[in-house]
Structure 1
Amino acid sequence: MKVLITGGAGFIGTKLAQRLIADDHSVILVDSLSPQIHGDIPDYRPPEGATFKRLDVRQLAERTDLLEGTDVVYHLAAETGTAQSMYQIAEYVDVNGMGTAALLEALAKLQKRPARVILASSRSIYGEGAYEAPSRPGQLIHPRGRTREQLAAGNWDFSENGEILQAVATPEHFAAKPSSVYAATKMAQELLLTSSCESLGITPVLLRFQNVYGEGQSLRNPYTGVISIFFNRARQGLEINVYEDGKESRDFVHVEDIVSALVLVMKADVAPGSCYNVGSGMPTSLLELANTLVSASGTTAPIRISGDYRLGDIRHCFADISAIRRDLGFQPVVDLNAGLQRFVTWAKSQPEYQDLSDKAAAELRERGLAKV
């Protein structure tokens, strides 16, 4: 098949392209090579066998030739920094929203359109994940985001009638409650695809990724990717600042498992608008992550539970992956310990980049969006 990947020079896009080429597909990669990810002078080399076009996704409506004859489009291009999105609002709305609109306009111009568009969406659209009250097991609760006052008082957890709510796996049918501009733009991408594709005779499929990590992740970008941020600081002997009380949790999924899901959904018989969570299905606290990463890296970097916080950050979210298991036969195979060791081995072979996470945190603090 002929496949086009927007954001194809990124972390996930590169791994996906390598897999598709190995499976004898024809692959076209479209990417702007953003300096935030690739540096001011990109040293990107596309995978052997891929066709690469440096192009901003927002310009895709004028380059329909790139989409001619494609069977499948993977839409991965996006700005992805949750915290950064809270003050670079126009940029996130423009790239993520108008970039998706440009793709759809390009598809509408084609005489022969691809059969399927697969969107890399995000668990962030849920806002907080699912919870239960200990006295009412099985009844899912979906709290709204925490207020500035709650965070300032150190009230990290959610409670109801005097009970601390317990995080449980979040299913796809959970309502969307975006708590960041980034999350709102990912929700907008989903709506744009599902409202447009069927009228064009295209099957849209939505994959809501959890926190993706692994070899090839940008080590330059201080705005996204907590694992790369923690590693850079550990490598340089800098203190690792774990926000809140360190017990906040995320679902970390290795890029190898993400690529497996992307390939499965390309081939599967699924209904238009199908939506699947993609994750490990397991929560990991940020403190546990920091300790495991420091151990794997062989450093002695200090870890501090600071009580700092960022507005818009969620407390807990991990994926219910029963639907993608049932429908596509998906099964994550890379556990976190093995995945972190693979990441560290690769990351140590890369150049040491200046740590810019303090600068990124200061930008939030100056705008009143964080206590750091």
Structure 2
Amino acid sequence: MKKKILVTGGAGFVGSHLCEKLSQNKDYDVYSLDNYFTGSKENHVPNVTYIEGDTVDIAKLVTFYPDMVYHLGEYSRVEQSFDDIEKVWKYNKDGIFAVLEFVRRAGCKILYAGSSTKFGDGGLGRSASPYAWTKASNTELVENYGTWYNVPYAVTYFYNVYGPREIQSGKYATLIALFKEKMKKGDVLTVVSPGTQKRNFTHIDDIIDGLVLVGENGYGDEFGIGSPESYSILEIAQMFGGKIEMLPERKGNRMSADVVTAKTEALGWNPKKNIKDYIEKLRKNNWEHE
């Protein structure tokens, strides 16, 4: 019997790569649940069954009990979350409750994609934005379901993921993709002040290797998946080599984050790619992905 694996947010940037990797396992039937808020049908991959809708409706939309749920399908932008608080609540708070109740009834394991913002600025980052707070409090609810109802769980934390299928334009664009598009068009690179805020940029392939490993073998909290090297946003802009314009400071913009990867490394994970090489490849390819 094949195992049924459900990925929420399976048409998004990280979710689509995870679906692609899982679907290569002949022992898995892979399903995606996505509302296409930031996901795209262009990210669909072969051998995956796609279900459209919100996670809050998971019990109506998913008509089977999976063996494993990777819960990636949440709102995931810091600065925009101040303006989008209703969406943040629906997708993150109403969503997590519906997913955990579904998982409890299914009797299966959940891997929850937490947010490294809760480790930002010595722990002060957890309440710095609506996004950060919902994600930090959701990790606590996942842990509590583990205690209250014996739901098997693992909580992972990504650190600034980059690579193919990033959102490239609009207010939900991610930094590396945004800089890449600006270089392609000859536009100025904009950096939010002070520019010294540091990030641990992690390639999508390393993220997926970590996710699958933790999904199959990890239990509990604090499975960070992040590159050990950190660079300031200004340093990244300088690696791209374009003209730089500084923008005013913004609310919720953390200065640093602790990278918590020891438990993931203990399972055998190590990052294999780095951002410097990636930017250099983009430059050689005239700002197209490899």
Match of 2:203 among 237, 248, 254: 254
- The answer on 1:340 being equivalent to 2:287 is no
- The answer on 1:94 being equivalent to 2:114 is no
Q: Is the 8 A contact 1:290 1:303 kept in 2?
A: yes
SS in 1 for 2:228: coil
Task: Please name the residue that 2:248 is paired with.
Answer: 308
Normalising by structure 2, what TM-score? 0.90
Letter in 2 for 1:21: S
Q: Deviations over 1:325-362 (max 9, x none)?
A: 1x211100011122335567596379xxxxxxxxxxxx
- Superposition pairs for residues 95-244 of structure 1, below 5 Å? 95-110=91-106, 113-114=107-108, 116-129=109-122, 144=124, 177-244=126-193
Task: Please name the residue that 1:11 is paired with.
Answer: 13
Hey, which bits of structure 1, 4+ residues long, moved more than 4 A? Answer: 341-347
Q: Deviations over 1:177-215 (max 9, x none)?
A: 431110001012212211124444321110011111111
Normalising by structure 1, what TM-score? 0.71
Task: Please name the residue that 1:47 is paired with.
Answer: 45
Q: Is the 8 A contact 1:85 1:180 kept in 2?
A: yes
Q: Is the 8 A contact 1:250 1:284 kept in 2?
A: yes
Distance in 2 between residues matched to 1:349 and 1:257, nearest whole Å: 16
Q: Is the 8 A contact 2:117 2:132 kept in 1?
A: yes
Task: Please name the residue that 1:283 is paired with.
Answer: 230
Task: Please name the residue that 2:35 is paired with.
Answer: 32
> Which has the higher Rg, Structure 1 or Structure 2?
1
RMSD: 2.3
Deviation of the 1:234 alpha carbon: 2.1
Q: Is the 8 A contact 2:164 2:289 kept in 1?
A: no
> Please, which runs of 5 or more residues in structure 2 have no aligned partner?
none
SS in 2 for 1:264: helix
Q: Is the 8 A contact 1:198 1:204 kept in 2?
A: no
Match of 2:25 among 15, 23, 39: 23
Match of 2:262 among 312, 318, 322: 322
Q: Is the 8 A contact 1:279 1:332 kept in 2?
A: yes
Alpha-carbon spacing, 1:103–1:307, altered in 2? closer, same or farther (3 Å): closer
Q: Is the 8 A contact 1:215 1:343 kept in 2?
A: no
Distance in 2 between residues matched to 1:245 and 1:86, nearest whole Å: 20
Letter in 2 for 1:54: E
Letter in 2 for 1:322: A
Q: Is the 8 A contact 2:202 2:275 kept in 1?
A: yes
Identity of aligned residues (%): 26
